[in-house]
Structure 1
Amino acid sequence: MKTLYDVQQLLKRFGLIIYMGKRLYDIEVMQIELKRLYEQELVAREEYLLAQLILRRERKIEIEREENKHG
């Protein structure tokens, strides 16, 4: 797992397709859903940690992108 797409595919395995209309919101909802899956022991610890790392990185990139766009 290396990309946001990979995390989306992981969530899709559990019937979760997330689209809020704004990439930052999508990432935040993915973080919440991923945590729920982990707490229910449906996702292995290593897979959870890697996916959260990817989501944190993508969230940071998206926030920087929005800040640059607004000056």
Structure 2
Amino acid sequence: MPRPTKGDRKVVMVRPPRIVAERLEQRWRAAGASSLSQYLADLLAVHVGLPELAAELNRVEEVLPLAI
């Protein structure tokens, strides 16, 4: 089954120093994002002032309050 589209995107390739890549991978795993690519796309969206385009980072799960 095909995945739903994530909208208009452009491929951007980077080759950071190995230590930078390793730290990014650690932070990606800690953040619980679905992929390193999605984590980096979200990080860049927030960095350029477009946090509404971050699909997974800073996502708040809304739940109904518990009735007592």
TM range (shorter): under 0.3
Higher relative CO (Cα under 8 Å, sequence separation at least 6) belongs to 1
Relative to the length of structure 1, the TM-score reads: 0.27
Relative to the length of structure 2, the TM-score reads: 0.28
Q: Which has the larger radius of gyration?
A: 2
Higher helix share: 1
